[in-house]
Amino acid sequence: MTGATGRADTFKIVFQSDRIPDTSFTARFQIYVMNSDGSSVGQLTFADTARDSLTNHVKDTTSNFHPVWSPDGTKIAFASTRDTNPQIFVMDPNGSNVVRLTHNSAEDAQPAWSPNGTKIAFATNRDGNDEIYVMNANGSAQVNLTNHTGSDLAPAWSPDGTKLAFQSDRETNYASGS
């Protein structure tokens, strides 16, 4: 089961939701975990709920999104705007020990763990257009894999970890690429 870890009777699903939206401002996503039967929903990331005294809008516009389990279930990689533009972070399954992996002025998102858990592929626009990069699971050795004028997004590893599939608009409107 994608996005799950554990025994068949204790699968956990990690997901993003704007389930408590502030309709007076753009939706802000937070990350949650629940059992595969929908029970025991727990929130892992939280926005600061302080409000502007003049507009009554929530001041914190942070979104946390694109959560994905590490293959061994000990970490969750995700994207977040907590430091302004979207970057890649990892955290423990209970939401603690958050570590920022990418540090640049571009938008980094859509993390995808390699099957052995040593690499994370992600989409970024740091080269002026959307590209697929790969880095070590600790954020080091970030390398551009696609390096093309087309927009490349949504990386997904092959089961053996030797290939990446991705979405691209190189020849048509987002035909599959590999």
Cα→Cα distances 80→74, 107, 125, 156, Å:
19, 10, 15, 20
How much is the pLDDT for 72?
95
CA atoms within 13 A on the CB side of 148: 16
pLDDT in tens, the chain (178 residues): 344 444 444 589 999 998 765 565 666 899 999 999 999 999 999 876 677 778 776 666 789 999 999 999 999 999 999 888 999 999 999 999 999 999 999 999 999 999 999 999 999 999 999 999 999 999 999 999 999 988 999 999 999 999 999 998 887 665 555 5
Report angle CA 165, 130, 27 to the nearest 5 degrees.
100
Reading the block at residue 87, the tokens are: 């970057």
Q: Evaluate whether 108 touches 66 at the Cβ level (below 8 Å).
A: no
Identify the pLDDT of residue 23.
62
Q: Are 108 and 100 a contacting pair, CB within 8 Å?
A: no
Cα distance between the two ends of the chain: 23
Residues 6+ apart with CB under 8 A from 2: none
Q: How far apart (Å, rounded) are the C-alpha atoms in residues 160 and 114? A: 9
Between CA 70 and CA 23 the distance in angstroms is: 33
d(CA 20, CA 22) in angstroms, rounded, equals: 7
Phi, psi of 9 (to 5 degrees): -90, 0
